Amino acid sequence: MLRTTHWGFVLLAMLAGWPASAADQWVGCDPVNVATYSSRIHVRCASSVGTGIFYFARATSNAADVQRHLAVLLAAQVAGRPLDVLADLSDTSNLPPGCGAADCRLLKAAAVKE
């Protein structure tokens, strides 16, 4: 169940072109690595989510979208705070470039936890 504090991030996900589906869920992530590549950004979690998912990523095709997500991901990592990440853990059909189906999912939204 989504907490009311995350509705703004669900709206962000919908505005970014990924409507929140019934399979989308918020999962916890302690970020240990945030990286940028020419084709994607990602966050690596300290522990796997679901069945071996360590990475959440998105393509770099929309610069403004990438900047918003990087700001949240880096703020959490630098502050040593956990994240809530919105993703569909069962969907491997729309993975960003370089995001492997075995351990990575599309990052739809992220929120720094208190």
Contact criterion met (CB below 8 Å) for 74 and 34: yes
Q: Is pLDDT of 101 > 90?
A: yes
- The DSSP code for 2 is -
Check residue 7 and give its pLDDT. 42
Predicted structure pTM score: 0.81
Q: What are the structure tokens assigned to 42, written together?
A: 């990602």
State yes or no: pLDDT of 97 exceeds 50: yes
Q: How far is it, in rounded angstroms, from Cα 98 to Cα 73?
A: 19
17: left (phi over 0), alpha (psi -120 to 50) or beta: left
Q: What tens digit of pLDDT does each residue of 7-58 get?
A: 444 434 434 444 556 689 999 999 999 999 999 999 999 999 988 999 999 9
- Asked whether 18 and 32 are in contact (CB, 8 A), the reply is no
